[in-house]
Amino acid sequence: MKNIKLSLFFVLFVISAFWIVTDWNAFNQTNNFRAWRDLLIQYSGLLGIGVMSVGMVLALRPSWLESTLGGLDKMYRLHKWMGIAGLTLAITHWLIIKGPKWLTNLGLLERQPKGPKSKIPDPDLLQQFFSGQRGLAKDLGEWSFYAAIILIVIALVKWFPYRYFFKTHRLLALVYLLLAWHSVVLLNYSDWKSPVGLMLAVLLASGVYGAVMVLFRKVAIHRQRIGEVASIRSFDALKTTEINIQFRDRWPGHRSGQFAFLTLHEQEGAHPFTIASAWANDGKITFIIKALGDYTRNLSKSVHIGDVVKVEGPYGQFTFRGNQPRQIWVGAGIGITPFISRLQHLQSNPDGKQIDLFYVTSMLDDQAVKLIENEAQVAGVTLHVITSQRDGRLDANRIMELVAQWNQADVWFCGPSEFGRSLRLDFNAAGLPANRFHQELFEMR
Which residue, among 426, 360, 428, 350, has the nearest Cα to 391 in the 3D structure?
Answer: 360
Beta strands in 373-441 (DSSP E): 382-387, 409-414, 437-439
**397-410 burial, b if ≥16 CB within 10 A, otherwise e?**
eebbeebeebeebb
Could you tell me the pLDDT band of residue 275, with boundaries at 50, 70 and 90? Answer: very high
3-state secondary structure of 437: strand
pLDDT for 320:
96
**31 has a pLDDT exceeding 80:** no
Question: pLDDT grade, residue 120 (50/70/90)?
Answer: low
Q: Would you say residue 198 has pLDDT above 80?
A: yes
Average pLDDT over residues 183-195: 93
Q: What is the DSSP letter of 159?
A: T
Residue (of 309, 337, 111) closest to 224 by Cα position: 309
Decide the pairing of beta strands 259-263 and 271-274.
Answer: antiparallel
- Give the chain's domains with CATH numbers: 2-112+122-215 (1.20.120), 221-315 (2.40.30.10), 326-439 (3.40.50.80)
Say if residue 117's pLDDT is above 70.
no
What per-residue confidence (pLDDT) applies to 21? 87
Residues 190-200, mean pLDDT to the nearest whole number: 93
- Name every residue whose Cβ is closer than 8 Å to that of residue 144 and which is 6 or more positions away in sequence: 175, 178, 179, 182
Does residue 29 surpass a pLDDT of 70? no
Q: Quick one: which of 59, 57, 42 has its CA closest to 11? A: 57
Q: What is the edge-to-edge ordering of all strands in the sheet holding 409-414?
A: 382-387, 354-361, 326-332, 409-414, 437-439
In the chain, % of residues over pLDDT 70: 95
Of 143-152, 156-165, 172-181, minimum mean pLDDT range = 156-165
Q: Where are the alpha helices (DSSP H) in 290-395?
A: 294-297, 299-302, 337-348, 366-379, 388-391
**Distance, CA of 65 to CA of 208 (rounded, Å):** 19
Helices (H), 71-194: 72-105, 125-156, 162-169, 171-186
**Reported pTM:** 0.88
Average pLDDT, the chain: 91
List Cα–Cα distances, 243 to 95, 205, 231, in angstroms.
Answer: 50, 41, 6
Residue 218 has pLDDT above 70, yes or no: yes
- Assess whether pLDDT exceeds 90 at residue 34: no
